[in-house]
Amino acid sequence: MTQQIPQDLPAHPEPTPEMTGVRNFRDVGGLPAADGRRVRPGRLFRSGHLAHATETDAEFLASLGLHTVFDFRNAADQALEGPDVALPGVRNVNIPLSDPADGGEFWRMVREGGLDQLRGLLGGGRAAARMAGSYRAMIRDRTAEHGRVVRALAEDSVPALLHCAAGKDRAGLAIAVTLLALGVDREAVVADYLESNAPHNRYRVRRDSEAPEAHSPEVMELLAPLFDARAEYLLAAYETIDGHWGGVDRYLAEGLGLTPVTLERLRERLLD
C-alpha cells in the first residue's frame, strides 16, 4: 500500500532546546490526536542517549519533572556509549529493543570496515533494505516490549522520556506506537519522526579511524541509510501492522494486548 507523506506538515508547534551532550531531543506535545485533541506538552519526550549529557543538560532534563526514562539500548550499546547520567528522583527503565548479538559483526564492520567491505555490505540498496527489515522485525517481534511501554505510560510513568542510542529507530518506533495508540494520524507521526534528520538532531557517525579515507564521501554515502530517518522505514512498520494485524486497532488489541480501558487511560494522561 502506497502512502503519501506531505512534506509541509508541521510535527508540533513549539521549538525545543538544543542540548550540548544529548542529541535528537524533543517534546512531542502539540501533535494532533484523536477526537480533535492534541498531545499535551510536557508529558512525552524523545531523544538520543543521555550518557554524554553535560551538567547543564542534566539540569534541564531534571527541570522537566520526569517520572521515568525508558532506555531502549541493549548491553552492547551501553558498553559503547556508557550509562545514562543519573537524574535525581527519576526512575530509569531499560527495555532492550534489539539483541546485542544480532548484528554485532555488522556494526563492527560499519565502524571499522574499509571501502570495499562497505560496498559489499551496504551497496546496491542493501543498507536501506536492512533498515526497513529491522523496523518490520521490531513491530512483529517486540510486541511484549511495546505493550509494556504503553501500559506503563497509561499507569504512572509520565512525564516520560523515551530514548535509544540515536533516538531515531528504537525510540522512534516506540514513540510511533504510542502516538498511534493516542489516535495521532500516521502522517503526523512520520513528520515527527523525520525531524531526526535536522542537523542538530542527527547522530554522529562513529568510525574507529579518523583517517580521511574512513570518512570519504563514498563511505559516508554508503553509511547514510543507516543514520537517516527515512519515511520508507516507518512505512515498512505501518505495512507490517496492516499486513499482520489488519490495522492499528487490532495491532493494539491483539498484538500489544491493550484494553479499551488502558487506551482511554493513556489518552487521559497524554492528551489535552
Which residues belong to the active site? 164
Q: Is 89 left (phi over 0), alpha (psi -120 to 50) or beta?
A: left
Q: List, in sequence order, every residue forming a beta bridge with 46; answer none if it has no partner.
A: 26, 162
Beta-carbon contacts of residue 83 (< 8 Å; ≥ 6 apart): 51
Within its chain, how far is the Cα of 19 from the centroid? Answer: 18
Residue 148 backbone dihedrals phi, psi, to 5 degrees: -60, -40
Nearest residue to 148 via CA among 17, 47, 255: 255
Question: Which three cell numbers mark 174?
Answer: 516506540
- How many other CB atoms are there within 10 angstroms of residue 8's CB atom? 5
Integer Cα distance of 165 and 216 in angstroms: 24
Kind of pairing, strands 26-27 and 44-47? antiparallel
Q: Is the Cα torsion angle 162, 166, 170, 173 positive or negative in sign?
A: positive
In whole angstroms, give the CA distance from residue 184 to residue 20.
30
